[in-house]
Amino acid sequence: GAGVSQSPSNKVTEKGKDVELRCDPISGHTALYWYRQSLGQGLEFLIYFQGNSAPDKSGLPSDRFSAERTGGSVSTLTIQRTQQEDSAVYLCASGTSSSSYEQYFGPGTRLTVT
Protein backbone atom coordinates (compact mmCIF):
# COMPACT_ATOMS: atom_id res chain seq x y z
CA GLY A 1 0.00 0.00 0.00
CA ALA A 2 0.93 3.66 -0.24
CA GLY A 3 3.29 5.02 2.37
CA VAL A 4 3.45 8.46 3.93
CA SER A 5 3.83 11.15 1.30
CA GLN A 6 5.03 14.72 1.73
CA SER A 7 5.02 17.72 -0.53
CA PRO A 8 6.90 19.56 -1.73
CA SER A 9 10.07 17.51 -1.62
CA ASN A 10 12.15 20.69 -1.72
CA LYS A 11 11.25 24.26 -0.89
CA VAL A 12 13.46 27.32 -1.17
CA THR A 13 12.01 30.49 0.30
CA GLU A 14 13.16 33.95 1.21
CA LYS A 15 13.53 34.98 4.81
CA GLY A 16 10.30 36.45 6.10
CA LYS A 17 7.99 34.52 3.79
CA ASP A 18 5.42 31.97 5.01
CA VAL A 19 5.59 28.32 3.93
CA GLU A 20 3.20 25.39 4.10
CA LEU A 21 4.36 21.80 4.16
CA ARG A 22 1.93 18.97 3.52
CA CYS A 23 1.76 15.42 4.83
CA ASP A 24 -0.50 12.59 3.65
CA PRO A 25 -0.35 9.80 6.22
CA ILE A 26 -0.97 6.13 5.64
CA SER A 27 -4.70 5.53 5.31
CA GLY A 28 -6.24 4.47 8.61
CA HIS A 29 -3.37 5.69 10.77
CA THR A 30 -4.74 7.74 13.63
CA ALA A 31 -1.44 9.12 14.89
CA LEU A 32 0.54 11.73 12.97
CA TYR A 33 3.84 13.34 13.96
CA TRP A 34 6.01 16.12 12.63
CA TYR A 35 9.77 16.14 13.22
CA ARG A 36 12.60 18.17 11.81
CA GLN A 37 16.22 17.32 11.23
CA SER A 38 18.68 20.15 11.11
CA LEU A 39 22.10 19.64 9.54
CA GLY A 40 24.17 17.20 11.60
CA GLN A 41 21.43 16.76 14.19
CA GLY A 42 19.01 14.03 15.14
CA LEU A 43 15.30 14.26 14.58
CA GLU A 44 13.57 16.83 16.76
CA PHE A 45 9.91 16.31 17.71
CA LEU A 46 7.60 19.17 16.75
CA ILE A 47 3.93 18.18 17.12
CA TYR A 48 1.75 15.08 17.52
CA PHE A 49 -1.86 14.44 16.53
CA GLN A 50 -3.81 11.45 17.85
CA GLY A 51 -7.33 10.95 16.59
CA ASN A 52 -9.65 13.75 17.67
CA SER A 53 -7.62 14.65 20.75
CA ALA A 54 -5.99 18.03 21.15
CA PRO A 55 -2.54 17.95 19.54
CA ASP A 56 0.65 17.82 21.59
CA LYS A 57 2.39 21.00 20.48
CA SER A 58 5.14 20.86 23.06
CA GLY A 59 7.94 20.59 20.48
CA LEU A 60 7.08 23.62 18.37
CA PRO A 61 10.08 25.98 18.64
CA SER A 62 8.15 29.24 18.42
CA ASP A 63 4.70 30.67 17.76
CA ARG A 64 5.67 31.08 14.12
CA PHE A 65 5.09 27.34 13.77
CA SER A 66 1.63 25.82 13.62
CA ALA A 67 0.04 22.66 12.28
CA GLU A 68 -3.38 21.36 11.60
CA ARG A 69 -4.83 18.04 10.65
CA THR A 70 -8.04 18.14 8.69
CA GLY A 71 -10.55 15.33 8.87
CA GLY A 72 -8.12 13.18 10.79
CA SER A 73 -6.00 12.65 7.70
CA VAL A 74 -3.91 15.22 5.82
CA SER A 75 -1.77 17.55 7.89
CA THR A 76 -0.22 20.91 7.07
CA LEU A 77 2.73 22.43 8.92
CA THR A 78 2.89 26.20 8.51
CA ILE A 79 5.92 28.33 9.27
CA GLN A 80 5.29 32.06 9.29
CA ARG A 81 7.95 34.70 8.72
CA THR A 82 10.61 32.09 8.04
CA GLN A 83 14.11 32.56 9.43
CA GLN A 84 17.38 31.04 8.24
CA GLU A 85 17.51 28.78 11.30
CA ASP A 86 14.27 27.17 10.10
CA SER A 87 16.25 25.52 7.28
CA ALA A 88 16.00 21.77 7.86
CA VAL A 89 14.38 18.59 6.59
CA TYR A 90 10.82 18.38 7.91
CA LEU A 91 9.64 14.81 8.36
CA CYS A 92 6.13 13.55 8.89
CA ALA A 93 5.33 10.16 10.34
CA SER A 94 2.13 8.23 11.00
CA GLY A 95 1.22 5.27 13.14
CA THR A 96 -1.70 3.26 14.46
CA SER A 97 -2.98 3.57 17.96
CA SER A 98 -1.89 0.00 18.63
CA SER A 99 1.66 0.45 17.40
CA SER A 100 2.32 4.15 17.69
CA TYR A 101 5.84 3.44 18.75
CA GLU A 102 6.59 2.15 15.27
CA GLN A 103 6.19 5.25 13.22
CA TYR A 104 6.23 5.23 9.43
CA PHE A 105 8.05 8.20 7.97
CA GLY A 106 7.62 10.10 4.77
CA PRO A 107 10.61 11.17 2.64
CA GLY A 108 10.62 14.65 4.12
CA THR A 109 10.56 18.19 2.80
CA ARG A 110 13.90 19.96 2.59
CA LEU A 111 13.32 23.61 3.46
CA THR A 112 15.98 26.17 2.64
CA VAL A 113 15.49 29.75 3.83
CA THR A 114 17.74 32.21 2.01
Site string for another protein, 49-88 (x = CB under 8 A): -x-----x-xx-----------------------------
Q: Using the rule CB under 8 A, is 95 a contact of another protein? A: yes
Q: Contact, 75 vs 67, CB < 8 A?
A: yes
CB 12 → another protein: shortest distance, Å?
Answer: 16
From 48, 77, 87, 113, residue interacting with another protein (rule: CB under 8 A)? 48
Question: How would you write 25-84 as a 3-class SS string?
Answer: CCCCCCEEEEEEECCCCCEEEEEEEECCCCCECCCCCCCCEEEEEHHHCCEEEEECCCCH
Of the two residues 9 and 16, which places its CB atom closer to another protein in the complex?
A: 9
